[in-house]
Structure 1
Amino acid sequence: MALPARPVATATPFHELLRLDPARCLLVPIDMQEEHRADPRYLVAGYDRVLGNAARLLAAARAAGVPCLHAGYLRDFTRVPPRPFEPVEADGTPAFSAPGSALTAFCPEVAPLEDEAVVLKNDLSCFSEPAFRAHVAALAPEWLVICGVWSEACVSATVRDAVAAGYRVLLVRDACGSGSAAMHEVAVITLANRLYGGAVCDTARACALLAGEEALAWRLSGAAPLRFDPAGITPLYDSF
């Protein structure tokens, strides 16, 4: 007797009311740089919207006294030489995020204030940079509130390393982005499927949480409970 087919993209995400202690939070915007709206090779879909939402998060964090640690990508071969198979330009210089390029500047909408920490990294994960790890350890937050680009690359690598290091992650889905909406949505769903101890929500709810208010958030129940096919990606993403 054939078993019934397993439903695809019909899993109901588990939402619960969440409250964060702003004194135990750290906002981490990742790679919010001009490269992603000016270099045709690395454009982020809907980047203006992503930047606008990240700016709202920064305003909420600053109003609540939540520290902000800005991470940027700067591929500096003097610090970390080219790796095997790494793409480079014809003259041997970095293919992206090159030192001296105006495109590595943080976008003005989300630029760090003078008293906010900045870490420049040479790899996908923010945790690959010792200065980042040291800064986070010194602040000892319970929650890292994460936004940035690209969702399946630097955001994903940082989220996974944060969870492995014992930090809870609040992933702000509409303050992240990638090369296309589909790439971004799949990345968020994939992260959510194993976001142990963390939560996913949108910018409006994240701002409320940063203010110490109670808000609804998606929390993982079990291990990898979500299943989806192409037709179900956007509905599942929208349910977070």
Structure 2
Amino acid sequence: MRDAAVKLALLPLLAAQGWRARKSARQLPEPDGPREGIDGEGPLLRLLVLGDSSAAGVGVAHQREAIMGRLVQSLSQTLRVAWRLNAVSGATTGATLARLTAEETGPFDMAVVALGVNDITKGATLRRWLGQQRELCERLRTDFGCAHVFVSGVPPIGSFPLLPDPLRWVLAEQGRRWDRALIAMLDGMDGCHHVKAAESLAPDQMAEDGFHPGAEVYEMWADAILKQLRPLL
């Protein structure tokens, strides 16, 4: 793979750039607001959002601006939504699998998953990540009752202002390759749906740390999920 070869050749530089980016990054908190609740009137929908800092809403001030809040606000107009957010900054797919086992009992009707960037930046292999993504989706379906799991695609890492080149280019190429593999895997799994991320983002659409989504990106993401979710209700 071209990006793997380039990554190997540039490894000392990439390691130094990654260290500097982590040291200089502004550490944004997870937003205020509840992480579970029941909203709306109508048929019951039990919804779980599971993942990393993007699922947690880092980059905005309150959960109502984040992915969970936006989904609940829209769905609760016609449904009684029993919702729960289980997301932690820095989470990998493997750590999330462990957290799911330890902290959740369900059942849920639908789940939204947002994972991948930390797996990339922490050196996971594509094979291991896909295996963990498969296990996560299968467990949500079989053990927690989810009729549908919406798996968010890898975001456009090349649009993250925090990252310098060539680190940004290498991680962006890796992210695109991983996302293509994720699409192919999910295509063969019943009830599991890939939610495509934006191809690119402008700097002013990102949070002030240059790494996390801003409010506009959360809105775009929620719209993309709802476009697939609503016909399945």
**Do Structure 1 and Structure 2 share a fold, with TM-score over 0.5?**
no
Q: Could you say which structure has the larger radius of gyration?
A: 1
| Bigger share in helix | 2
TM-score when scaled to structure 1? 0.30
TM-score when scaled to structure 2? 0.31
